[in-house]
Amino acid sequence: MKHGLNETIQVLAKKHGLDLSMYNEQFLEQIVEKRMMLSHVHDLLEYQRYISGNQDEVDTLRRSVNITHTEFFRNTLTFAHLEQWILPSLFEKRQEANELRIWSAGCSSGQEAYSIAILIENLQARNSKHLRYRIIATDIVESALAQAVEGIYRESEVQRLRLHDVHTFFTGKGDMYEVSDTLKQHVWFHTYDLLDNESAYPHESIFGNFDLVVCSNLLFYYKPEFRHGIMRKLINSMNPNGFLITGEAERQSTELFSEVYAVVPPSPIYRLRRNVQ
């Protein structure tokens, strides 16, 4: 399918301005095969003709490659490490006047960013020391970001949360739950393309310098050279000795960089060795 897939990518780029060349070929094959099946198209040549004059199908394909699936506290072990020692260690070493800065890259509909905010609020409730904190959460899918800003989720989506956290940080609205302003005031959602070569970090962060960067379950959708570029951007945005969290399947891509080292193998949690210039 590889040769035909490359031709399909060229058709999409030439006729519709849709560039899919950065995506992993296996991932693209799965997406295209699914779209062919749902469109009742039997081979790639026919699908190329189909998309040439079908903008609706091109738009659907565009949405299909922008994966937006996420959950609250998705990786249980990683969030346990965050709760038990990463966030407490960041708090302990920080002066109350200094802001704790976090970047949730590829945040989708916001559950990851709000999960981190819940941990921070609970940490503050257990301590007399209270710090300012800001979570910059970014994605390229504007519909997912709109849901994140709204902060309203189905009852089934909050099932992974502790009952205390649901009662403390959400307001029930029928079978829906809305995130409280206590969390929303600390989480800033913005559109940002991790493949943008013109910027080193989201403009809204002003100067980067993140104490914690989370980018999980995203890198493996891209070809190695694009994964490398994203990883370089993430590392360059971090404070000295800052923490980086990726997904389980992305550990190999992360460990190619000598600037970071694994702190709790086999969990995908890393720390910056030095300030990268």
Could you give all domains of the chain from N- to C-terminal order, each with its CATH number? 2-65 (no CATH), 76-272 (3.40.50.150)
Q: Render pLDDT for 25-65 as a digit per residue (tens, 0 to 9).
A: 999 999 999 999 999 998 888 999 999 888 999 999 988 88
Crossing angle (nearest 10°) for helices 55-65 and 25-38: 140
* Averaged pLDDT for residues 246-250: 80
Helix (H) or strand (E) holding 103: strand 100-105
Give the C-alpha separation, 19 to 11, whole Å: 10
The pLDDT of residue 277: 44
Give the C-alpha separation, 215 to 234, whole Å: 8
* Averaged pLDDT for residues 254-258: 76
Count of CB atoms within 10 A of residue 14's CB?
A: 10
Among the listed residues 147, 99, 151, the one whose alpha carbon sits nearest the alpha carbon of residue 120: 99
Distance linking the first and last C-alpha atoms of the chain: 42
